[in-house]
Structures are given as structure tokens and as C-alpha cells.
Amino acid sequence: MLPEITRRDARREALTGLIDYAGLFPPASLGMEEAVAEYRAARTGPQAWMVDRFICPADRLLELAGLLTTTMTEDEEPWSLVVTARPDEAAAIADFVAEMSGGADVDAVETPLADGADTALVVRLMETLQSVVFFEVPWRRPVEPALDVLVTARAASGRTLGAKVRCGGVVAEAFPSPEVLAGFLAACRDRGLPVKATAGLHHPFRHTDPATGFTHHGFVNLLAAAALAHGGVSPAVLAEVLADTDPGGFDLTARGLVWRDHRIDAGDLAAVRRDLFVGYGSCSFDEPVADLTALGILPVAS
């Protein structure tokens, strides 16, 4: 823990465990050994408090178990995983947990929500996957019906679930507009559904990638929009936050997160992270940390 950041520091409330490490996934697409090494470096480095779980596809759990069981030391903290899985891969998750014997556990599962899925199907999926499940909701059509299914399934099952939103990809069409993403956040807020984001969120602020020409969402934009959504702000304003490409319009300090004339304090940020925006998956940890350090949001590690 760095001494410059205290327990109620707004930066810590906003950023603790914000990033699930997804080095196995595009565009990084690292090999298992390299991804494991990078995650180990992140979870033992000076900004370890910002990284949460290791994301692994279900069909690579056996490979991961083989590597961990031969490389984990006695003093290494147990691993927490998010697994991307289909319903028919539940056995692979159970086998992994048994093989690891306490050295690693699966905290959450991410799975697509099929078109036309109803409450009964979602409840069966949760029972099959035996974990907190984040259902990826397609955003190219109105999301409210799918989110309503999740709400009714949660009530019917008594289980914890959430919605996953894909914010980018390897083609331009994979990036939702600010208006679409704002509507998604507001709809999840209105239904009390926690949100997990993924893809295209390596950098803090909205920007155009010079290599691809794709305009990416920023994770600080998303955090600020979620915080304002949690406070009841309209989707139109949330879209403005998400579309803002000027880092000068934002500030994240010990006192709070600011966007223009809006301020969110440490206590409200803690509530946002608990109730609405639980975090995002990134195939890079070093890039977000380097950007936040360069912006002066994080202290320079000694």
C-alpha cells in the first residue's frame, strides 16, 4: 500500500480492484505463461490494489491449473478468477477448483445472454454455472427487455447476477456510441443491476487509436458516467460524459472525481463501485497505470 493514498481517498475508492486482467484475450492474446507472469507482476507490484482477478476462458482452465500447480509458491496468495464460459463448460470450472485445492477459486462467470432468453433459462444457467454470473447483453437492439429478464431471474433465484457490456473490439462496429452506452448504464441503474465492462478500455479518456482509426471509450469517462448515473443524472448528460475527449474536463484527486461542475466524493464513489460499475476487463494493466501516473492521478512508485 502506498502511503500517499489513505483509506477514504477518493482515488482508492474509485480504482481499487477496478481492473480484471485479461491478457489471454485480444488484442494482447498472450500465451498462458506470459499472461500468468504479467498478472503475478501486477498483483505484487506497487499498484497491486488496482488489479482484481485473472480472466480465463473455460477451455483453458486445465492449462492454467497445470502451470499454477507447478509454479505457485507456499507464500503466494490464492488466485481469484473470472471465467468466460458457456453453460456446457460448468464441469471444467468445477474440475479446475478441485484441482487447485484452494490455490485458486472462481469468483464470477461471464457468459453471453442468448437472444430470446427467458427467466427460466437464466435461472437454469445460474444453477448450472454455480457462481456469480455476469450476462453479456447485446446492445445493438434495445437492452431493456434483456435486462428485465435478468431482474426477474434474480428475484426468482435469489442469486447475485449482473450485466456485462462490450465497449469495443477488433472492428469499428464493436464500439457502442456514447448514447448507447449511456442508455445501458441508466437502464442498469434503474434496475439495480451491477455492470461489468470489457474491451477497448485501456486508456483513461475517450480517444482515437491512430493505428486503427477506432474511437475508444475511456475508463475514467465510464467511471464518471457510472458515478453520475448512480446519482440520478439523465442519459443525455451521461452521453456527454462518455463523449468527452478532453482530459482537462476531468479530475480525480483525494477529494473526489470531478467532471465539469459535477463532483463525486469518496463515499459516493465507493457506493458506485459496489452497486453499479464493479470494474472492467483489460488485456493490459501497465497501460492504465502508466496513463494515470502520467496524469498525476497516481503517485509515482518509488
User: Crossing angle, helix 178-191 and helix 235-243, to 10 degrees?
Assistant: 130
> How do the domains of the chain map onto residue ranges?
10-294
pLDDT of residue 7: 57
pLDDT of residue 131: 81
pLDDT of residue 200: 87
Place domain 10-294 in its CATH homologous superfamily: Aldolase class I (3.20.20.70)
In angstroms, rounded to a whole number, what is the distance separating the alpha carbons of residues 295 and 243?
Answer: 19
What lies within 8 Å, CB to CB, of 231 at 6+ separation is 264, 268
In angstroms, rounded to a whole number, what is the distance separating the alpha carbons of residues 244 and 194?
Answer: 24
What lies within 8 Å, CB to CB, of 184 at 6+ separation is 137, 139, 143, 163, 165, 176, 195
pLDDT of residue 129: 84
Which segments of the chain have a pLDDT < 70? 1-7, 300-302
pLDDT of residue 154: 95
pLDDT of residue 282: 96
pLDDT tens per residue across span 28-40: 999 999 999 999 9
Q: Enter the pTM of the model.
A: 0.93
pLDDT of residue 3: 41
Nearest to 221 by CA among 240, 234, 235, 208: 240
pLDDT of residue 31: 98
What lies within 8 Å, CB to CB, of 13 at 6+ separation is 266, 267, 269, 270, 273
